[in-house]
Amino acid sequence: MNQTQYVPYSDEIRQLMRKKSGILFSAHRRKDDGILDEATAMFIEAGELEEQIARLLENDSQPKAEGVPVLSLRRITKVQRSEHSENAVIHWVSAASCYMNAGDFSRAGKLFEFILTKDIRPRLRREVKKFKKRCETENKKKPKIGE
C-alpha cells in the first residue's frame, strides 16, 4: 500500500503558513469585492511571508553538521531535505505570484529570475519562464517617470 509521507515542518514554518493562508484568502476576497488598495497590500504581505517560508524551508533542506545546534531541534532525513527544498521552490513561485497579483511585476520578475537559478523540474522551469516573460511584458507597458 502506497502511503503519503508527512514531511515535518517546524512550528515556525507551520505558523507562518497558517498566517499567509489567511492573508491570501482575505486578499482574494478584497480583490473580488473591488477593494483593490487593501488587496494589493495583502498580496504583498502574503508574498513576503511566502519568501520567509521558502527561506526557512531551504535552510531546513541543508545538511546540518554534527554537534551544531539546530534551532528547530528536529532531525530530518535526506529525502525530507529534498522535499523541503522542492517545497521551498513552490513557495518562491507562490511569492512571485502574490507580487503579480499586487501588480508588482518588477519584483515578481526578479523572483522568477532567482527561481530559474534553482535546480527545478523541467515542467516547472517552463512555467516559470512563461511567468517571467509575462512580467517583462507588463513592465514594458508601464510608463517611465517623466513620460
Average confidence score pLDDT of the chain: 83
Is 64 a residue whose pLDDT tops 50?
A: no
Sorted by where each begins, the domain ranges of the chain are 11-62+74-140
Q: Measured over all CA atoms, what is the biggest interatomic distance in the chain, rounded to whole angstroms?
A: 65
DSSP letter assigned to residue 101: H
Grid cell digits, residue 55: 527561506
Identify the weakest region by mean pLDDT among 43-52, 54-63, 86-95, 107-116. 54-63
What does the alpha-carbon distance between residue 142 and residue 91 come to, in Å, rounded to a whole number? 27
**pLDDT of 79 higher than 70:** no
Outline where DSSP puts E strands in 52-126. none
Task: Choose the weakest-confidence range: 9-18, 19-28, 93-102, 135-144.
Answer: 135-144
Out of 51-60, 79-88, 108-117, 119-128, which region has the weakest mean confidence (pLDDT)?
79-88
pTM of the model: 0.79
Please give the residue that has the higher pLDDT: either 121 or 147: 121
For the cut 70, the answer to whether the pLDDT of residue 68 exceeds it is no
Mind listing the pLDDT tens digit for each residue in 15-47?
Answer: 999 999 999 999 999 999 999 999 999 999 999
- Distance between CA 123 and CA 125 in Å, rounded? 5
CA distances from 7 to 12, 77, 118, 132 (A): 14, 10, 21, 30
88, amino acid identity = A
